[in-house]
Structure 1
């Protein structure tokens, strides 16, 4: 065999080995979530994002993706190629990244609602286990409420509890940070969630957006005067979000949220707070009111002293 023929033989064997290796690599199975959120950006950005989320993907996959095409941003549905053990081949996974889209449903958290009822909504809308949702939520945040930003989210059908909560909390914390920098010029998590806690009470107490800065001012004025807040809205936490606050409930509720029994603000938000309530909390009205009571029009009558307050009640 001539030297040229020998070199050609070696080259062809190398090419054959290369393609066999690629086909073998693409046939390897791994477990992937049924839906994946693909960020906007280059293939490098996407690969880095997947690595941070512990997906089975590596730098060699960049080469494969450059051949197949860039992944579509947004939610991608990943269908298993092996139904028995619910795994997907590497080749199928990379191909689905560039071709698939997941079916989406709207998920809305309204301002003032608590995680208790929001989780119930998630459970019924997506058929997910309520306790698994609670466990997933607690895994990703230390705050019992007020973390998930009130908004409408596009959520894929088939998403798991852990991935869903990770996504909602991650997106919300980005929103919190963005708003803090926009309003305050900086982001200090402890300071910000102190504002969120007050804003969550403002959200439940104010009859409308126009009242929010005045209600916030009443809270600060009462704190400054060393008075208990004595606000019903603080007792509309968790499962009591829609409950009417009665004298009996005020006496029996021994939680940290009872601002009739405990001075100061609660240690955590009592529900979600809108951007309007947050801004009102950061920029309260310049008034010296200490009391307010709901009037016949459905809004509130504010007063500076207890005598005026009694007159408003009467």
Structure 2
């Protein structure tokens, strides 16, 4: 008999396939940077909405482990299965398609998916230029704005990049490609949105969380509102997504990669938003332009909680009683096998 986790994973795979084939899956913009005189790197950058499974939604973590999930600080809530949120792939261009049989990409071309950790992106960058990871990371860090404080997470724009983007069909250098939009476009967007430079870091952190927790623009904007509302109220964020980022990046061995336990939520790490006040120290992945817009323009509402459903939908609540109703609805939905 399939477990609830198995069924949710199957739902997620099917949903990702269906979503990626629709017009909602992507939006396109062209990033143009002059990298040297008479040479311009042009890359078609694709921002793709993430496709969620079931939610380790914030604030009242959803588990299938009995009544040990945390709602507000010190409050116990019913628990439901939570799962990671894989992102749909950027739409491949005709000249840069993936080999579906092997999963490998044409040499010199690599993708940055919404939600990707910087270390994963840097490994792809190193492969594209036949160099080592340390060299690729140094090039990325050198190109970051001062506000990044040397940490690339949150500053790498999702899209497809090619070292053959030069109009004369010459190979770009590693530094040229890195500076052609990979590390600079998010700063340009924040500047265009009128975000003060001292708020750039926190805005990208919030955007990365919205990317991890929601797939539709309106839900991302509401997630951003929840984060800001909880920060303003002095409440801990209590997010599984920040713990998962820490585990994936640093090899922390969670007992289940798709949900956290009480022991996991007691871990001493700066990314544990169950224990620590405020935002995590860095973004937790690459936010799409949609997620950044959501963080700069959060929805107008006084929500303090949310729960994600297997369909990718998110329900929001202004108080803990409403939140428990949403949690109960999710429990009933999972028990009935209704993924809508």
Classify the TM-score, shorter chain. Answer: 0.5 to 0.7
Deviation at 1:165, TM superposition (A): 5.2
| Contact 1:148-1:169 at 8 Å conserved across structures | no
Unmatched tracts of structure 1, length 5 or more = 1-37, 47-70, 76-102
Name the CA shift for 1:109/1:212 in 2 (closer, same or farther; >3 Å).
Answer: same
Deviation at 1:280, TM superposition (A): 0.8
Q: Which residue of 1 aligns with 2:181?
A: 171
Question: Aligned residues, how many?
Answer: 218
CA–CA separation in structure 1 for the residues paired with 2:215 and 2:322: 20
Q: What does 1:145-224 correspond to in 2, within 5 Å?
A: 145-156=153-164, 163-164=173-174, 167-169=177-179, 171-184=181-194, 188-224=196-232
| Contact 2:113-2:158 at 8 Å conserved across structures | yes
Unmatched tracts of structure 2, length 5 or more = 1-32, 43-105, 145-149, 252-256, 329-340
Name the CA shift for 1:310/1:193 in 2 (closer, same or farther; >3 Å).
Answer: same
Q: Which residue of 2 aligns with 1:234?
A: 242
Name the CA shift for 1:188/1:166 in 2 (closer, same or farther; >3 Å).
Answer: farther
Deviations, residues 271-300 of structure 1 (Å, cap 9, x unaligned): 111111111111111111111112353322
Q: What does 1:126-145 correspond to in 2, within 5 Å?
A: 126-141=129-144, 142-145=150-153
Q: Which residue of 1 aligns with 2:316?
A: 302
Name the CA shift for 1:123/1:239 in 2 (closer, same or farther; >3 Å).
Answer: farther
Deviations, residues 181-237 of structure 1 (Å, cap 9, x unaligned): 3221xx643322221111011110113222111111111111111100111222232
CA–CA separation in structure 2 for the residues paired with 1:175 and 1:132: 21
CA–CA separation in structure 2 for the residues paired with 1:200 and 1:176: 12
TM-score (norm 2): 0.55
User: Which one is further off, 114-123 or 238-247?
Assistant: 238-247
CA–CA separation in structure 1 for the residues paired with 2:230 and 2:211: 17
Of 107, 128, 132 in structure 1, the residue corresponding to residue 110 of structure 2 is: 107
Query: Is the aligned partner of 1:251 residue 2:266?
Result: yes
Name the CA shift for 1:119/1:249 in 2 (closer, same or farther; >3 Å).
Answer: farther
TM-score (norm 1): 0.60
Q: Which residue of 2 aligns with 1:264?
A: 278
Deviation at 1:134, TM superposition (A): 3.1
Of 121, 126, 135 in structure 1, the residue corresponding to residue 124 of structure 2 is: 121
| Contact 1:140-1:166 at 8 Å conserved across structures | no
User: Which one is further off, 205-214 or 215-224?
Assistant: 205-214
Report which of the two has the higher share of helix. Answer: 1
Q: Which residue of 1 aligns with 2:102?
A: none
| Contact 2:139-2:178 at 8 Å conserved across structures | no
Deviation at 1:111, TM superposition (A): 1.3
Q: What does 1:47-126 correspond to in 2, within 5 Å?
A: 73=40, 105-126=108-129
Superposed CA RMSD:
3.3
User: Which one is further off, 123-132 or 214-223?
Assistant: 123-132
Deviation at 1:122, TM superposition (A): 2.9
